[in-house]
């Protein structure tokens, strides 16, 4: 079976856009199989008119997947026992049906990312202040390396935090 | 959980209201969803993600409890605390409707 990689711009920013893109791909016969690093793996098959929905849920039990299945949403794949994608027919009802719970969908992710970004941010400042001192070249190189890693970590938690927060605010504003 | 949690204010969201109503009889999640759709004649439909979120919330707040089930599907029912909060919320909503009816001069105001 032929496979294809589809890149992701980050679920915090492009969830809806990417779900719609997965639907267009399915209509062309390319179906979501699983998450891949910074994207998705698709496999070739028959064209299908379907809709995809994504949910965040840490370690859900069997009842969770049962509820989706009996509402016409087939579980496709998950990552980290935390992010789950479901596939439904065109007439399957939305997986979130009210503002309150839709807002909560993003609230936990916002909090997790915010907490991680805060810790990394403090670490970043602490490391930065170490550069005020004179260090032997070896130590300085190591410090620069660590600083670089922390910076990357900060970007990959700080940006999603802003994205989830923005999204949650928009949902509570627009209803 | 969200800071303006309506449950903490003693108010139920519309979805919670109907889910608690459904659980005055022990039911499992999907039957609750069907009950709500039928009772409201399709006016309200609860999605599976919303349903799961609310069940967890109501369990945490001890407004519903799981029952020792026979099969693999978990059944839930309303607790005394849940029933008293539901009753209060019915009164609150009734008062709202009466206020509106009186002002709008509609049938139903007494």
Disruptive mutation site among A67, A173, A175 for chain B (greatest number of B CBs within 10 Å): A67
Task: Summarize pLDDT for A131-142 with one digit per residue, the tens.
Answer: 888 889 999 999
Average pLDDT over residues A135-155: 93
Given a contact cutoff of 8 angstroms between Cβ atoms, the answer to whether B78 and B67 are in contact is: no
pLDDT at A6 over 90: yes
Show me where the domains of chain A are located: 3-89, 99-174
Across the interface, whether the CB atoms of B48 and A95 are under 8 A apart is answered: yes
So what's the pLDDT on residue B79? Answer: 96
Tell me the mean pLDDT per 10 residues along chain B, length 110.
58 94 94 96 95 95 86 87 96 94 74
**A-contacting residues in B 40-69 (Cβ below 8 Å):** 44-55
The single residue listed with the structure tokens 């439909």 is B45
Across the interface, whether the CB atoms of A64 and B52 are under 8 A apart is answered: yes
Task: Summarize pLDDT for A46-70 with one digit per residue, the tens.
Answer: 999 999 999 999 999 999 999 999 9
| Model confidence pTM above 0.95 | no
A82 exposure class (CB count in 10 Å sphere: 0-12, 13-18, 19+): middle
**Which residues form the domain of B55?**
14-104
Tally of structural domains, chain B: 1
Disruptive mutation site among B3, B27, B49, B59 for chain A (greatest number of A CBs within 10 Å): B49
Beta bridge partners of A36: A39
For the stretch B9-45, what's the b/e string if a residue is b when 16 or more beta carbons lie within 10 angstroms of its beta carbon? eeebbbbbbbbbbbbeebbbbbbbbbbbbeeeeeeeb
Residue A27's pLDDT band (boundaries 50, 70, 90)? very high
Given a contact cutoff of 8 angstroms between Cβ atoms, the answer to whether A144 and A127 are in contact is: no
Task: Summarize pLDDT for A84-121 with one digit per residue, the tens.
Answer: 999 999 999 999 999 999 999 999 899 999 999 999 99
- CATH number for the domain spanning B73: value is 1.10.10.10
- Give domain status of residue B5, yes or no: no
So what's the pLDDT on residue B2? Answer: 47
So what's the pLDDT on residue B3? Answer: 46
């Amino acid at each position: 079976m032929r496979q294809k990689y589809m890149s992701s711009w980050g679920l915090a920013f492009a969830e809806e856009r990417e779900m719609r893109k997965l639907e267009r791909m399915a209509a062309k016969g390319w179906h979501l199989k699983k998450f891949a690093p910074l994207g998705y793996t698709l496999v070739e098959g028959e064209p299908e008119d379907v809709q995809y929905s994504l949910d965040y849920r840490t370690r859900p039990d069997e009842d969770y997947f049962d509820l989706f299945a009996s509402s016409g949403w087939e579980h496709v794949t998950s990552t980290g026992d935390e992010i789950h994608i479901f596939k439904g027919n065109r007439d399957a009802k939305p997986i979130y049906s009210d503002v309150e719970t839709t807002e909560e969908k993003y609230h936990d992710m916002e909090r997790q990312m915010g907490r991680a970004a805060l810790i990394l941010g403090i670490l970043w400042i602490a490391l930065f202040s170490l550069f005020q001192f004179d260090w032997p070249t070896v130590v300085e190189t190591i410090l620069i390396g660590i600083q670089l890693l922390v910076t990357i970590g900060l970007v990959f938690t700080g940006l999603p935090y802003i994205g989830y927060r923005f999204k949650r605010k928009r949902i509570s504003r627009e209803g | 959980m969200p800071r303006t949690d309506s449950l903490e204010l003693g108010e139920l969201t519309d979805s919670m209201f109907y889910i608690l109503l459904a659980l005055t009889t022990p039911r499992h999640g999907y039957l609750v969803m069907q009950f709500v759709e039928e009772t409201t004649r399709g006016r309200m439909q609860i999605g599976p993600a919303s349903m799961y979120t609310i069940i967890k919330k109501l369990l945490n707040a001890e407004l519903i409890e799981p029952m020792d089930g026979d099969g693999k599907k978990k059944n839930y029912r309303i607790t005394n605390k849940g029933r008293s909060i539901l009753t209060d919320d019915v009164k609150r909503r009734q008062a709202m409707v009466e206020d509106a009816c009186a002002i709008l001069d509609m049938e139903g105001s007494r």
